[in-house]
Amino acid sequence: MATLILWCEIERAQRQLLPLLEGREEPVILCASVAEAVDALLDYPEAPLMLASFVGVPLAHAQAACRRFRSEIAGRRLRLLGVLEIGQLAEYDPMWGLDDFILFPVDAQELAARLTMILWRDRDLGAGSLFKLESLVIDRDRHEVLVDSVPISLTMKEYELLLLLVTSGDRVLTREAILESVWGSDYYGGERTVDVHIRRLRAKLEDVGVCIETVHGLGYRFSPKLLGG
């Protein structure tokens, strides 16, 4: 059985987060320091997921910790869901290496949904961290997208949108479903947001962008067969 590691150094955050994790299928390991979290990652090789609390922690320390977590288990998958305070959003950078984040104090249903979504994204891509299609490479551990070996600069939402599309197989995703998965249920923008991001993503992916297929009247899907014309 997989293990969920909670790295949380601040007691007030522990008091809020721990009850929300009760009843989950996988066991939860609480780590109150970076050293404890590293030990847990090494002791539980089946642990693919960490809830990393930035609450009350200097951002430089939190970023260094996330980098260390990934480096200590190089070659293994690790998904990081960050817990951020609203005041930290202005400094948020995708290069921190988080797969997703949630705001503190945390809503129980949103936390469960985001944990489920992170694990679901891995389901169809297999055990490896790389997705390859012709000239397109997505390295999920490094949060990198390359076309013809050239790194493509994507915003976090563009990156999440691309991952959602490639992990959905041949399934058509409605604009509503994409908004829910990428922007969250509390996003108040319209479905036009999806169209704008799809257009930008296609342009950045160049020739590979044709794989993002518009299914008129329904939504979008990722169709590798279109790459060959």
Task: Starting at the earlier edge strand, list the strands of the sheet with 130-133.
Answer: 130-133, 136-139, 144-147, 150-151
User: What pLDDT score does 190 carry?
Assistant: 75
Q: Which residue has the higher pLDDT, 104 or 68?
A: 104
pLDDT of 227 higher than 90: no
**One domain, residues 139 and 44:** no
User: What pLDDT score does 228 carry?
Assistant: 64
Do the beta carbons of residue 53 and residue 17 sit within 8 Å?
A: yes
User: What pLDDT score does 51 carry?
Assistant: 97
**One domain, residues 118 and 134:** no
Which has the minimum average pLDDT: 81-85, 109-113, 139-143, 176-180?
Answer: 139-143
Residue 208: domain span: 130-228
Distance in angstroms (rounded) separating the CA atoms of residues 99 and 115: 10
Last residue of a domain, which of 123, 151, 166? 123
- pLDDT classification of 176: cutoffs 50, 70, 90: confident
Last residue of a domain, which of 105, 123, 141? 123
**One domain, residues 116 and 172:** no
pLDDT of 142 higher than 80: no
Q: Which residue has the higher pLDDT, 6 or 48?
A: 6
**One domain, residues 20 and 82:** yes
**Mean pLDDT for all residues in the chain:** 86
**One domain, residues 20 and 74:** yes
Total count of domains within the chain: 2
pLDDT of 203 higher than 60: yes
Give the dihedral sign, CA 125/129/133/137: positive
What is the arithmetic mean of pLDDT over 212-222? 90
**One domain, residues 68 and 12:** yes
User: What pLDDT score does 121 carry?
Assistant: 59
Instruction: Give pTM, 2 decimals.
Output: 0.57
**One domain, residues 101 and 200:** no
What is the arithmetic mean of pLDDT over 80-91? 94
pLDDT of 86 higher than 70: yes
**One domain, residues 88 and 142:** no
**One domain, residues 117 and 140:** no
CATH number for position 62: 3.40.50.2300
Last residue of a domain, which of 123, 138, 166? 123
Which phi and psi angles does 168 have, rounded to 5°? -95, 5
CATH number for position 168: 1.10.10.10
User: What pLDDT score does 189 carry?
Assistant: 67
Which has the minimum average pLDDT: 35-49, 133-147, 203-217?
Answer: 133-147
pLDDT of 38 higher than 90: yes
**One domain, residues 38 and 142:** no
**One domain, residues 211 and 159:** yes
Condensed to tens digits (0 to 9), the pLDDT of residues 91-134 reads 988 778 787 899 999 999 999 988 887 776 555 444 456 778 77
DSSP conformational letter for 223: -
